Copies of this chain bind each other. A is one copy, B any other.
């Protein structure tokens, strides 16, 4: 199963099974109806796809090694309306502690290292780069 995904399609929740693993954590990042800029209608996600995918794979590989866990991460690109899921990060691990640490680290690194950008489309018609 592909563990690093960049897609325009609706994100699916992965089913990771491993009887040696006691903790399965799934994070979903969704488009919010409000931001500091006002009422949001949608967010347009753009990416330098080639590099985005290789960065995503690198982050997953490094976090998996660091915590000895299994990580899945999928980011959606294109125009997403309020309530839709832009990011899914799932982590399977023996115990919850390293599962949470790994999940949080993957999300932070995605936000800092994966070449994806957000343009917020507000209900009053404005468009704001985030």
Task: Using CB atoms and an 8 Å cutoff, list the residues of chain A in contact with chain B.
Answer: 17, 19-34, 82-83, 94, 96, 99-100, 103-104, 107
Contact = CB atoms under 8 A, between A and B. Distances in A.
Chief secondary structure at chain A's binding surface? mixed
Contacts of A82: 19
Nearest to A26: B26
Contact of A32 (B22, B25, B33): B22
A59 B28 CA distance: 23
Number of copies: 2
Contacts of A23: 27-30
Contact of A28 (B24, B30, B33, B103): B24
Given A33-B20, A82-B19, A27 B28 contact: no
Nearest to A84: B19
A83 B29 CA distance: 27
A96 B28 CA distance: 9
